[in-house]
Structure 1
Amino acid sequence: MSVSSGSTAPGRFTRRLGQLVGIETPSGWARGLNDAYDLLEAWAGNSLGRPERVVCDEVPHLYWRGGDPAAPKDSRVLLLGHADTVWPLGTLAENPFRVEGTRATGPGVFDMKAGLVLAFEALGLAGDVSHVSMVVSGDEERGSLTSRALVEEAAAACGAVLVLEPSEGGALKTARKGVALYRLGVSGRAAHAGLEPHKGVNALVELAHQVLTISDLADRGRGTTVTPTVGSAGTTTNTVPEQAFVDVDVRAWEQAELARVERALRALRPRAPGAELAFQGGVNRGPLERGMSVGLLGSARAVAERLGLTPVTEAGVGGGSDGNITASLGVPTLDGLGPDGGGAHARHEWVELTSVRDRTSLIAGLLADRAP
Structure 2
Amino acid sequence: MTLAVSLDTILDDLRTLVEVESPSGDVESLTISARVVADLLERRLGGRAVLVDGPAGPHVHWSGGGEPRVLVLGHHDTVFPLGTLARRPFTVADGKITGPGVFDMLGGLVQAVHAVALLDDRSGVEILVTADEENGSLTSRALLEDRAQACGTVLVLEGAGDGGDLKVGRKGCGTFEVTVTGRASHAGLEPEAGVNALVEAAHQVLEIAALNRPEAGTTVTPTVLRSGGQSNVVPDAATIVVDVRVETADETARVEAAFASLTPRDPQAVLAVTGSVARPPMTPETSTDLFALAASLEPGIRGVSVGGGSDGNFTAALGIPTLDGLGAVGGGAHADTEHVLVDTVVGRVHLVAGLLRAVTA
Q: State the TM-score bracket (shorter-chain normalisation).
A: over 0.9
Matched residue, 2:306: 317
CA contact (8 A) 1:250 1:258 kept: no
Find the partner of 1:36 among 33, 43, 47: 33
Which amino acid in structure 1 is aligned with residue 207 of structure 2? T
Matched residue, 2:60: 62
SS state of the match for residue 245, structure 2? strand
Using structure 2 for the length normalisation, give the TM-score: 0.95
Matched residue, 2:296: 302
CA contact (8 A) 2:13 2:40 kept: no
SS state of the match for residue 165, structure 1? coil
Q: What's the % identity of the aligned pairs?
A: 49
Q: Does 1:88 align with 2:77?
A: no
User: 4+ residue stretches of structure 1 with deviation over 3 A?
Assistant: 46-49
Correspondence 1:1-372 to 2 at 5 A: 7-45=4-42, 47=45, 49-68=47-66, 71=67, 76-169=69-162, 170-305=164-299, 311-372=300-361
CA contact (8 A) 2:38 2:51 kept: no
Q: CA deviation at 1:58?
A: 4.9
Structure number with higher relative contact order (C-alpha < 8 Å, ≥ 6 residues apart): 1
Q: CA deviation at 1:65?
A: 4.2
Tell which deviates more after alignment, 231-240 or 321-330: 231-240
CA contact (8 A) 1:25 1:33 kept: yes
Offset from partner CA, 1:111-155 (integer Å, 9 cap, x none) = 111000001110111221110111101111111121111111111
CA contact (8 A) 1:28 1:60 kept: no
Question: Judging changes above 3 Å, is the alpha-carbon distance between structure 1 residues 355 and 109 closer, same or farther for their aligned structure 2 residues?
Answer: same
SS state of the match for residue 238, structure 2? strand
How far apart, in 2, do the equivalents of 1:89 and 1:132 lie? 33
How far apart, in 2, do the equivalents of 1:190 and 1:329 lie? 48
CA contact (8 A) 2:42 2:49 kept: no
CA contact (8 A) 1:48 1:129 kept: no
Which amino acid in structure 2 is aligned with residue 272 of structure 1? D
How far apart, in 1, do the equivalents of 2:17 and 2:46 lie? 20
Which amino acid in structure 2 is aligned with residue 36 of structure 1? S
Q: CA deviation at 1:32?
A: 2.7
How far apart, in 1, do the equivalents of 2:97 and 2:51 lie? 29
Q: CA deviation at 1:31?
A: 3.1
SS state of the match for residue 293, structure 1? helix
Which amino acid in structure 2 is aligned with residue 41 of structure 1? A
Offset from partner CA, 1:189-218 (integer Å, 9 cap, x none) = 211111111111111100000101100110
CA contact (8 A) 1:158 1:331 kept: no
Matched residue, 1:308: none
